[in-house]
Amino acid sequence: MKDLNGRLCLITGAASGIGRATAVAAARRGMRLFLTDISEDGLNETVARIRATGGEVLDAQALDISDYEAVRAWAERIHGRYPSLDVVMNIAGIAIWGTVENLEHQDWKSVIEVNLMGPIHVIESFLPPMVRAGLGGHLVNVSSAAGLLALPWHAAYSASKFGLRGISDVLRFDLERHHIGVSLVVPGAVRTPLVGTVRVAGVDRDDPRVKRLTGLFEGHAATPEQVAERILSGVEHNRYLVYTSADIRIGYWFARKFALPYEIVMRLANRQFSRLLDAQQRNTVSR
């Protein structure tokens, strides 16, 4: 995959953020694209932007990747014209954070269905034809730093991202004999619309302290364009773990090499977040 020019590439989550940036960057490399997102307006804007600069979008379909039948129908339509694809990128995702007493059943269900079952639907529908074609290829799964580390309030989100990491870890060995590479992308802070829209169960997003934390997060966040370049470089060099920032690489190394200090840091982080939650609850009661 050192030369991406002319390769057939599917990207989910292409309407905004990392998905859109990756689609634009892939088009610049000459890849021929199949794009999807649940947001039809955003998807159309991405398609228009790519085509305006001479890029090639072969198919764009607005759909919910958690809907297996919709993904399957799209795959059948694509494979009716193209027997197999060269690169499949699972980028679409949602984020809901919160402590276990504040998360509702629907929160857990939504995150798992989109972030874990969605990529599974795509893998089910597009990887077997790639295997049967015998031409090799590449699979990209975008997990998260929360798929490597025990970040506070991330239980539901981490369930989905650790799950995607597990799938990727198995598939990188299962698919090797078919010359299909696997990349697991583990972004830390990324400056996308998700930062402003992520719902934190039980937390008031308008609280000045929460806004200050959000500002700190965005202050050292990578841009979607930077992440897109890392993803495509990972494909070109058949790299399994694709980091988007040095802090996550160091944090994961620290967690593996220094178990006890890692536990201490995580406990301190959770206590700090708990103080914020307790303070908000006290303010609510006082009102």
DSSP H stretches of helix in the chain: 17-28, 40-52, 68-79, 105-112, 118-133, 155-174, 193-197, 208-219, 224-236, 246-257, 259-286
Please tell me the number of Cα atoms within 13 Å of 58 on its side-chain side.
19
> Of residues 68, 82, 157, 252, which has the active-site annotation?
157
Question: Residue 251 burial (CB < 10 Å; 0-12/13-18/19+)?
Answer: buried
Positive or negative, the CA dihedral 124, 130, 131, 133 is positive
| Cβ-contact 18, 43 below 8 angstroms | no
Quote the crossing angle between the two packed helices 68-79 and 118-133, to the nearest 10°: 20
CB atoms within 10 A of CB 142: 30
Question: Residue 101 burial (CB < 10 Å; 0-12/13-18/19+)?
Answer: exposed
Catalytic-residue membership of 262: no
Q: What is the dihedral of CA 250, 114, 20, 206, to 10 degrees?
A: -70
Active site residues: 157
